[in-house]
Amino acid sequence: MGVVASPAGERSQSEEGQVCGMTGGHGTEDDAGDVVGFLMAQHQQVRELLDDVLRAGGQERQQYFDQAREMLARHETGEEMIVRPLTRKAPDGGAVADARMAEENEAKEVLAGLEKMDVDSERFVSTFTAFRQSVLDHAQAEERDEFPLLRQNTDPDALAKARDRVERAERMAPTHPHPGVRTTTANYVAGPFVAMLDRARDVLSRG
Protein backbone atom coordinates (compact mmCIF):
# COMPACT_ATOMS: atom_id res chain seq x y z
CA MET A 1 0.00 0.00 0.00
CA GLY A 2 1.16 3.48 -0.50
CA VAL A 3 1.77 3.89 3.15
CA VAL A 4 3.76 7.02 3.11
CA ALA A 5 4.14 10.40 4.60
CA SER A 6 3.64 10.93 8.27
CA PRO A 7 4.55 14.11 10.07
CA ALA A 8 8.31 14.15 10.03
CA GLY A 9 8.25 15.02 13.70
CA GLU A 10 6.81 11.63 14.53
CA ARG A 11 10.05 9.99 13.56
CA SER A 12 12.55 10.03 16.32
CA GLN A 13 16.22 10.19 15.60
CA SER A 14 16.54 6.63 16.77
CA GLU A 15 14.26 5.53 13.94
CA GLU A 16 16.70 6.87 11.41
CA GLY A 17 18.51 4.10 9.68
CA GLN A 18 16.57 1.45 11.51
CA VAL A 19 14.40 -0.97 9.63
CA CYS A 20 12.14 -2.90 11.91
CA GLY A 21 12.26 -6.63 11.50
CA MET A 22 13.72 -6.56 8.03
CA THR A 23 16.14 -8.99 6.59
CA GLY A 24 19.62 -7.58 6.32
CA GLY A 25 22.66 -8.65 4.45
CA HIS A 26 23.57 -8.66 0.85
CA GLY A 27 24.41 -11.26 -1.69
CA THR A 28 23.85 -10.65 -5.33
CA GLU A 29 25.41 -13.87 -6.58
CA ASP A 30 22.01 -15.47 -7.03
CA ASP A 31 18.39 -14.52 -7.43
CA ALA A 32 17.79 -14.51 -3.69
CA GLY A 33 20.04 -11.45 -3.42
CA ASP A 34 18.17 -9.34 -5.93
CA VAL A 35 15.28 -7.02 -5.22
CA VAL A 36 12.74 -9.77 -5.80
CA GLY A 37 14.39 -12.14 -3.33
CA PHE A 38 14.59 -9.34 -0.78
CA LEU A 39 10.92 -8.41 -1.14
CA MET A 40 9.78 -12.03 -1.04
CA ALA A 41 11.64 -12.58 2.24
CA GLN A 42 9.84 -9.55 3.61
CA HIS A 43 6.51 -10.96 2.45
CA GLN A 44 7.18 -13.97 4.62
CA GLN A 45 7.95 -11.74 7.59
CA VAL A 46 4.75 -9.78 6.98
CA ARG A 47 2.70 -12.99 6.86
CA GLU A 48 4.11 -14.05 10.21
CA LEU A 49 3.51 -10.65 11.79
CA LEU A 50 -0.10 -10.55 10.60
CA ASP A 51 -0.68 -13.95 12.21
CA ASP A 52 0.99 -12.73 15.40
CA VAL A 53 -1.44 -9.80 15.61
CA LEU A 54 -4.47 -12.08 15.62
CA ARG A 55 -2.86 -14.65 17.90
CA ALA A 56 -1.87 -12.12 20.59
CA GLY A 57 -4.04 -9.88 22.72
CA GLY A 58 -3.86 -6.63 24.64
CA GLN A 59 -0.54 -4.84 24.72
CA GLU A 60 1.21 -7.64 22.88
CA ARG A 61 -1.28 -7.38 20.03
CA GLN A 62 -0.75 -3.63 19.91
CA GLN A 63 3.01 -4.17 19.63
CA TYR A 64 2.65 -6.69 16.84
CA PHE A 65 0.22 -4.40 15.06
CA ASP A 66 2.65 -1.47 15.33
CA GLN A 67 5.43 -3.65 13.94
CA ALA A 68 3.24 -4.88 11.09
CA ARG A 69 2.12 -1.33 10.29
CA GLU A 70 5.68 -0.05 10.22
CA MET A 71 7.00 -2.93 8.18
CA LEU A 72 4.18 -2.62 5.64
CA ALA A 73 4.72 1.12 5.40
CA ARG A 74 8.40 0.67 4.66
CA HIS A 75 7.96 -2.29 2.35
CA GLU A 76 5.24 -0.72 0.22
CA THR A 77 7.12 2.57 0.02
CA GLY A 78 10.16 0.73 -1.34
CA GLU A 79 8.01 -1.05 -3.88
CA GLU A 80 6.25 2.11 -4.97
CA MET A 81 9.36 4.24 -5.29
CA ILE A 82 11.79 1.75 -6.76
CA VAL A 83 10.04 -1.33 -8.12
CA ARG A 84 6.98 0.10 -9.89
CA PRO A 85 9.00 2.19 -12.34
CA LEU A 86 10.84 -1.00 -13.36
CA THR A 87 7.59 -2.94 -13.67
CA ARG A 88 6.19 -0.26 -15.94
CA LYS A 89 9.08 -0.76 -18.37
CA ALA A 90 8.15 -4.42 -18.93
CA PRO A 91 5.68 -5.42 -21.66
CA ASP A 92 2.17 -4.91 -20.25
CA GLY A 93 3.84 -3.83 -17.02
CA GLY A 94 1.71 -0.67 -16.79
CA ALA A 95 -1.46 -2.62 -16.06
CA VAL A 96 0.29 -4.81 -13.52
CA ALA A 97 1.80 -1.79 -11.76
CA ASP A 98 -1.55 0.02 -11.73
CA ALA A 99 -3.31 -2.98 -10.22
CA ARG A 100 -0.76 -3.33 -7.44
CA MET A 101 -0.83 0.41 -6.69
CA ALA A 102 -4.64 0.31 -6.43
CA GLU A 103 -4.42 -2.56 -3.93
CA GLU A 104 -1.81 -0.70 -1.92
CA ASN A 105 -3.85 2.50 -1.84
CA GLU A 106 -6.91 0.63 -0.65
CA ALA A 107 -4.96 -1.15 2.07
CA LYS A 108 -3.46 2.17 3.15
CA GLU A 109 -6.94 3.50 3.89
CA VAL A 110 -7.91 0.42 5.88
CA LEU A 111 -4.67 0.58 7.82
CA ALA A 112 -5.25 4.22 8.74
CA GLY A 113 -8.64 3.23 10.14
CA LEU A 114 -7.21 0.28 12.06
CA GLU A 115 -4.62 2.52 13.64
CA LYS A 116 -7.39 4.43 15.44
CA MET A 117 -9.16 1.35 16.84
CA ASP A 118 -8.82 -0.43 20.16
CA VAL A 119 -6.94 -3.59 19.20
CA ASP A 120 -9.09 -5.69 21.53
CA SER A 121 -12.38 -4.50 20.05
CA GLU A 122 -14.50 -6.76 17.84
CA ARG A 123 -14.35 -4.10 15.17
CA PHE A 124 -10.57 -4.26 15.09
CA VAL A 125 -10.56 -8.05 14.88
CA SER A 126 -13.07 -8.20 12.02
CA THR A 127 -11.45 -5.32 10.11
CA PHE A 128 -7.96 -6.68 10.66
CA THR A 129 -9.00 -10.18 9.59
CA ALA A 130 -10.22 -8.81 6.25
CA PHE A 131 -7.16 -6.56 5.98
CA ARG A 132 -4.84 -9.53 6.56
CA GLN A 133 -6.49 -11.42 3.72
CA SER A 134 -6.18 -8.47 1.34
CA VAL A 135 -2.48 -8.09 2.20
CA LEU A 136 -1.94 -11.82 1.61
CA ASP A 137 -3.77 -11.61 -1.73
CA HIS A 138 -1.74 -8.54 -2.69
CA ALA A 139 1.58 -10.21 -1.87
CA GLN A 140 0.52 -13.28 -3.82
CA ALA A 141 -0.41 -11.12 -6.81
CA GLU A 142 3.03 -9.48 -6.69
CA GLU A 143 4.75 -12.86 -6.53
CA ARG A 144 2.59 -14.32 -9.30
CA ASP A 145 2.18 -11.41 -11.74
CA GLU A 146 4.75 -8.72 -10.99
CA PHE A 147 7.97 -10.31 -9.77
CA PRO A 148 8.31 -12.85 -12.62
CA LEU A 149 7.74 -10.00 -15.08
CA LEU A 150 10.51 -8.04 -13.40
CA ARG A 151 12.97 -10.90 -13.50
CA GLN A 152 12.18 -11.70 -17.12
CA ASN A 153 12.55 -8.14 -18.32
CA THR A 154 15.14 -6.52 -16.08
CA ASP A 155 18.87 -6.90 -16.25
CA PRO A 156 20.22 -8.84 -13.21
CA ASP A 157 22.56 -5.96 -12.37
CA ALA A 158 19.63 -3.56 -12.36
CA LEU A 159 17.72 -5.93 -10.07
CA ALA A 160 20.67 -6.05 -7.68
CA LYS A 161 20.96 -2.26 -7.67
CA ALA A 162 17.22 -1.97 -7.15
CA ARG A 163 17.62 -4.00 -3.99
CA ASP A 164 20.05 -1.45 -2.58
CA ARG A 165 17.71 1.37 -3.52
CA VAL A 166 14.72 -0.38 -1.94
CA GLU A 167 16.67 -0.90 1.28
CA ARG A 168 17.54 2.79 1.41
CA ALA A 169 13.99 3.88 0.56
CA GLU A 170 12.68 1.64 3.34
CA ARG A 171 15.04 3.15 5.87
CA MET A 172 13.78 6.61 5.05
CA ALA A 173 10.10 5.82 4.69
CA PRO A 174 7.54 7.33 7.03
CA THR A 175 5.89 4.65 9.11
CA HIS A 176 2.26 5.68 9.28
CA PRO A 177 -0.35 5.40 6.53
CA HIS A 178 -1.28 8.61 4.75
CA PRO A 179 -4.47 7.80 2.90
CA GLY A 180 -5.26 11.29 1.67
CA VAL A 181 -3.07 10.99 -1.39
CA ARG A 182 -3.62 8.37 -4.02
CA THR A 183 -0.81 8.62 -6.51
CA THR A 184 2.79 7.70 -6.02
CA THR A 185 4.01 11.10 -7.09
CA ALA A 186 1.63 12.88 -4.75
CA ASN A 187 2.63 10.54 -1.96
CA TYR A 188 6.16 11.80 -2.19
CA VAL A 189 5.65 15.49 -2.77
CA ALA A 190 2.57 16.37 -0.73
CA GLY A 191 2.32 17.71 2.76
CA PRO A 192 4.98 18.83 5.20
CA PHE A 193 7.31 16.04 4.19
CA VAL A 194 8.88 17.65 1.19
CA ALA A 195 12.23 18.38 2.78
CA MET A 196 12.67 14.88 4.09
CA LEU A 197 11.61 13.35 0.82
CA ASP A 198 13.87 15.63 -1.15
CA ARG A 199 16.66 14.34 1.01
CA ALA A 200 15.51 10.78 0.30
CA ARG A 201 15.50 11.43 -3.42
CA ASP A 202 18.97 12.96 -3.26
CA VAL A 203 20.34 9.90 -1.54
CA LEU A 204 18.55 7.53 -3.87
CA SER A 205 19.72 9.33 -6.98
CA ARG A 206 23.30 8.82 -5.88
CA GLY A 207 22.81 5.05 -6.10
Which residues of this protein are in contact with Fe ion, per CB under 5 A? Answer: 76, 79, 142
**Smallest gap from residue 59 Cβ to Fe ion (A):** 28
**Smallest gap from residue 139 Cβ to Fe ion (A):** 5
Q: How far apart are the first and last CA of the chain?
A: 24
> CA 156, CA 31: separation in Å to the nearest integer?
8
**Smallest gap from residue 60 Cβ to Fe ion (A):** 25
Contact between residue 187 and residue 101 where contact means Cβ atoms under 8 Å apart: no
Nearer of residues 2 and 61 to Fe ion, judged by Cβ: 2
Nearer of residues 43 and 61 to Fe ion, judged by Cβ: 43
> CA 95, CA 194: separation in Å to the nearest integer?
29
CA quadruple 84, 163, 24, 33: dihedral sign:
positive
Nearer of residues 77 and 119 to Fe ion, judged by Cβ: 77
Region of 113 on the Ramachandran plot (φ > 0 left; ψ -120 to 50 alpha; else beta): alpha
Nearest CA among 185, 61, 91, 75 for reference residue 138: 75
**Smallest gap from residue 103 Cβ to Fe ion (A):** 7
Nearer of residues 61 and 167 to Fe ion, judged by Cβ: 167
